[in-house]
Structure 1
Amino acid sequence: MQTVINFAHRGASGCCPENTLAAFKTALKLGATGIETDVQLTKDGRIVIIHDESLARTAGLNQFVKDTDYAELSTLDAGSWYAPEFHAERIPSLEQLLELLRDTDTILNIELKNGIFQYPDIERKVIEMVRDFRMTDRVILSSFNHYSLALCKQLAPEIRTGILYMEGLYHPSDYAATLQADALHAFKLAVTPELIAEAAAKGIAYHPFTINDSAEMEKLILAGVAGMITDYPDVLAELLKRRGAR
């Protein structure tokens, strides 16, 4: 039986404000077996969960995460932009999410958002926290910053890494091997059955993003992906259930 990891993209972001505890809790209820999320550092070095470098879109403050202390950031309304009933949602810390998932078997994909701002030491800080929670076997560290992924492997060979990329990577599984990466997190249009098979033969998993259409999900399952990242984990969960997978 084929097992496909159902990664909820920023939580169940199709029905909740992204990267909030509401989105993560809802994802688990909807059948997600994995969570995908993003981390950055506040001005005072706390690891927080947010996608954009700016707080403007999801928290209403025209300021960068890196320029904001955690005390201020943690009071911001991170839900009302999506719907009024989520007004009490806050920007979570990574610690809060790890606490939520600690006693589950959920896989956690932590994307290091260090492509625009480098966030010195973010790799070490994230790795230390994951180790403190004894979740190294359930975490995948991903990034578009592949230098960062190489450093993660040096610091923590036991934690899986996933290479994020958009398109046109030449022999991606060969490239992944140069970074000792465990997975390829490719934009969905950069994935082919041939590339998936080539990677699988080398022990490298494909976890493409962001797949919200059930027909696209079906094709990727048939092609042999190890997991996929979706805004609608309920749609993928239902499809896998119908296929007799989990």
Structure 2
Amino acid sequence: MNKIEIIAHRGASAVCPENTMIAFERALELGATGIETDVQMSADGRLVLIHDETLQRTAGSEGWVKDFTYDTLRTLDAGSWFHADFAGEPIPSLEMLFNLVQGKRILLNVELKNGIVPYKGMEEKIIQVIREWNMEQQVVLSSFNHASLVKCKRIAPDIRTALLYMEKLYRPYDYAAKLEASGLHPYKLAVAKEEVTAALAQGIVTYPFTVNDPGDMELMMDMGVQGIITDLPDVLASLMTARTRSANIGIK
């Protein structure tokens, strides 16, 4: 079978608090070949990894990410909500994640969370940091804000982009090609085998999200996707190993 990217959604978020360094490190230990994370901006323009625009759910604090400085955000506890064992786990910066994966054969899917809060200058800042860390070949920028991805592509044509979407789109591969995106990241229920095939014919890969049920993983693989975004990278890795073993036995 063809190689499928195992992309850990917010890190190994089934067993660790999402979007923390311990979740990213654990994802690699569990067999992930890629990490997906969410980026927002602090009040002083630093790039921080957190999903929600507000701090309540994962950092136990009132208010919005955008209203606090980086130093203040770093003092918050982003682990206790998940389990007491992770108490004191801080919100990381994008640079910390780059430091973890730089030079490794790990794909980094950075989702721009700028659909609700229109972070001014986010695209330029992210690309600047990518350049500083020489991560152009490892990073894919994704977002539900497709206008933002077009802006990224205009600034940095060499950095890959991927379109996130929830609903069925008509000929999504043509839409992606028009936006010069190299990937489609559809919600798992919006995936169709013929569209995966048509996209690949245009050099566009399909990585559905968030696929946690083993049966759904099998279905996505049967549809020919090139990667799967999951909270359970170890489960996906095991399924892929079993498939490869079965295929090899079949050849013999």
TM above 0.5, one fold?
A: yes
1:85 CA drift (Å): 0.5
Q: Which position in structure 2 is the counterpart of 1:172?
A: 172
1:158 CA drift (Å): 0.7
In the superposition, the TM-score normalised over structure 2's length comes to 0.96
1:125 CA drift (Å): 0.7
Using the alignment, how far apart are the partners of 1:135 and 1:46 within structure 2? 18
| SS state at 1:14 partner | coil
Q: Which position in structure 1 is the counterpart of 2:148?
A: 148
Structure 1: which 5+ runs fail to align? Answer: none
Using the alignment, how far apart are the partners of 2:244 and 2:138 within structure 1? 24
Q: Which position in structure 1 is the counterpart of 2:29?
A: 29
Using the alignment, how far apart are the partners of 1:52 and 1:58 within structure 2? 8
What does the per-residue CA deviation read over 1:52-75, in whole Å, with 9 as the maximum and x for residues that have no partner?
000110001111000011111100
| SS state at 1:153 partner | helix
Structure 2: which 5+ runs fail to align? Answer: 246-252
What does the per-residue CA deviation read over 1:200-240, in whole Å, with 9 as the maximum and x for residues that have no partner?
11111000000001111111112110101000000011111
Q: CA RMSD in A?
A: 0.9
1:8 CA drift (Å): 0.1
Q: Which position in structure 2 is the counterpart of 1:193?
A: 193
1:194 CA drift (Å): 1.0
Q: Which position in structure 1 is the counterpart of 2:88?
A: 88
Q: Which moved further from structure 2: 131-140 or 8-17?
A: 131-140
Q: Which position in structure 2 is the counterpart of 1:71?
A: 71
| SS state at 1:128 partner | helix
Q: Which position in structure 1 is the counterpart of 2:248?
A: none
| SS state at 1:185 partner | strand
Q: Which position in structure 2 is the counterpart of 1:105?
A: 105
Q: Which position in structure 2 is the counterpart of 1:54?
A: 54
| SS state at 1:244 partner | helix
What does the per-residue CA deviation read over 1:114-147, in whole Å, with 9 as the maximum and x for residues that have no partner?
0001101111111111111111111100000000
| SS state at 1:110 partner | strand
Using the alignment, how far apart are the partners of 2:3 and 2:124 within structure 1? 31
Q: Which position in structure 2 is the counterpart of 1:244?
A: 244
Amino acid at match of 1:126: I
How many aligned positions are there? Answer: 245
Q: Which position in structure 1 is the counterpart of 2:250?
A: none
Amino acid at match of 1:179: L
Using the alignment, how far apart are the partners of 1:239 and 1:130 within structure 2? 33
Using the alignment, how far apart are the partners of 1:61 and 1:213 within structure 2? 32
Using the alignment, how far apart are the partners of 1:122 and 1:94 within structure 2? 12
Using the alignment, how far apart are the partners of 2:47 and 2:219 within structure 1? 36
Amino acid at match of 1:37: T
| SS state at 2:85 partner | helix
Q: Which position in structure 1 is the counterpart of 2:44?
A: 44
Q: Map 1:12-27; keep pairs closer than 5 Å.
A: 12-27=12-27
Q: Which position in structure 1 is the counterpart of 2:224?
A: 224
